[in-house]
Structure 1
């Protein structure tokens, strides 16, 4: 599934209008979290999801009016326990939704979402700010801004600078919220780096990699089949350390998507080929495998014999890392993470 900002960018580039649904509030057993978005197209097909079921159906139904009047609406939907039971859900819940018309002919709107896609692709943290005027009930591109820690995107105004000042006061701890200024509501949506790095193998090089990837704000997950190595004592900074039964079914333990970076450094390279074969079936943004050119060519031939294509093989960075003459575990870790930064910043 595409990232929602990639899907939005694709639509505006194709000059297609759509309705964007955003969960403002949730309670009970509503399936998706605050800030979750879904695109509703002219033909009422969707990209993304706000949880399926009756909430999604009601949002799609309301979008028909929004396509006609091009105004935004905010609606609260409640599903009682009895209603939930009738459709097989455990219990009821409620969602408060914002549904807004996105016009690709609006140059400011186009620019904002194009910039959001670029920032998200690079892994940059930013806050999307939307002015919701209760009087006008319309959101144009001039009503949206993007704030990063050091940058600003959108149409300049005194109010925009005032709101940006409030955001920057607590940028690293900003949360999804509404604020009110001069009888207008401003929706603040932090879009934070959700990139993950999966380190396959828990040896000495992996220990150094995990320290640096955490500094770079990657969610860092280490996997190995040896508890002696894969433990909190060795990986104090990692978000997760998983002791697995084997590397044969790695996708049973982790979900690798387009925001994932995979570093393959299994012990003695014993399981590198097995892990690589599985990871090539995912949308991983970065796949790096440690080893010499001789080892690389051997592994690639085996994979090609198994039906993998040249295009599959081109996705792999091997020998892993940027060539800096690295020798120590620390230097190798810097070489690898430097290559990851290069991939992160290429849009």
Structure 2
């Protein structure tokens, strides 16, 4: 999916940026159609997978930036040409973007453009673009007759992490690379955060983080992972007085039993309190921060996949 916001951020930070996307595949390949990466002269983000394929595509993208080529379509047999064991083939679309190139995309649901040749836009792609615009139907990334179409990224799920301790750090590191989430990370002071914050993560500090709850989107998902049981309880209390899509609290069954009693004393009904999930993660994976992070990430992604499947069935 074409992540317009991330591309705009990269351009603002680095100037013209090359975007490389998997446009077509055959046989066994490392990544799916639509997988993409951004490349600038001094760095890159995202991945198209494949080791040598990505290395060569990055080198070509930087060469494009140097000679100001706007778009290229290239085909790569992974075994014969690159010596990879996958054995399939990949077609890549590589394009150079500046801020001005993206202005017309803000209100669109899909992005169709010619990347090779000089043929007219195929009727099937025109129809897909029209259905996306008029009926909100999902567009499948596809390459046809030198034209490539992609869905523009839907709004990411707001995901708020409360706490930058060991578990909070593991979770943010695990989830920060996923474009499905827009991450906000909160703690009481700068000193509690690592020196390097993952790209795309918004960091907030507050003496009393619970004061920030009213600023959270009503459909945000929350994970409460602070160093203080008192702060955990206050966050639960404030979130139950605010709208949210999901709230998870790190802790034992004993901790949650105490919290339920305290939250009941604070005026919250049992059905409201039950909206908070505690414990979080998959206990069978272990109690290490990384294991908890993997369990929580899996649950969040599984939930997103199920919601998308239900939405597709009713579309």
TM-score normalised by L of structure 2: 0.51
1:330 maps to 2:290: yes
Alignment of 1:260-279 (within 5 A): 260-279=220-239
1:257 maps to 2:218: yes
Aligned to 1:146: 138
Instruction: Give runs of ≥4 in structure 1 deviating > 4 Å.
Output: 161-165
Q: Which has the higher helix share?
A: 2
Q: Secondary structure at the match of 2:191?
A: coil
Partners of 1:207 and 1:234 within 8 A in 2: no
CA RMSD of aligned residues (A): 3.1
Partners of 1:263 and 1:287 within 8 A in 2: yes
TM-score normalised by L of structure 1: 0.47
Partners of 2:164 and 2:226 within 8 A in 1: yes
Query: What CA distance in whole angstroms lies between the structure 2 residues aligned with 1:149 and 1:282?
Result: 38
1:294 maps to 2:257: no
Partners of 1:224 and 1:242 within 8 A in 2: yes
Q: Secondary structure at the match of 1:130?
A: helix
Alignment of 1:167-246 (within 5 A): 167-168=149-150, 190-217=152-179, 218-230=181-193, 233-237=195-199, 239-246=201-208
Query: What CA distance in whole angstroms lies between the structure 1 residues aligned with 2:244 and 2:174?
Result: 20
Q: Give CA deviations for 1:53-108 in whole Å, capped at 9, x if unaligned.
A: xxxxxxxxxxxxxxxxxxxxxxxxxxxxxxxxxxxxxxxxxxxxxxxxxxxxxxxx
Query: What CA distance in whole angstroms lies between the structure 1 residues aligned with 2:223 and 2:262?
Result: 20
Aligned to 1:35: 107
Aligned to 1:43: none
Partners of 1:205 and 1:333 within 8 A in 2: yes
Partners of 2:141 and 2:149 within 8 A in 1: no
Partners of 1:277 and 1:303 within 8 A in 2: yes
Q: Secondary structure at the match of 1:167?
A: strand
Query: What CA distance in whole angstroms lies between the structure 2 residues aligned with 1:221 and 1:140?
Result: 33
Query: What CA distance in whole angstroms lies between the structure 1 residues aligned with 2:200 and 2:166?
Result: 14
Instruction: Give the paired residue count.
Output: 184
The Cα of 1:225 is off from its aligned counterpart by 0.6
Query: Could you list the runs of 5+ residues in structure 2 that have no partner in the other structure?
Result: 1-104, 110-127, 308-315
Which of 270, 283, 292 does residue 310 from structure 1 map onto?
270
Aligned to 1:129: 129
Query: Could you list the runs of 5+ residues in structure 1 that have no partner in the other structure?
Result: 1-32, 38-127, 133-138, 151-160, 172-189
Partners of 1:198 and 1:220 within 8 A in 2: yes
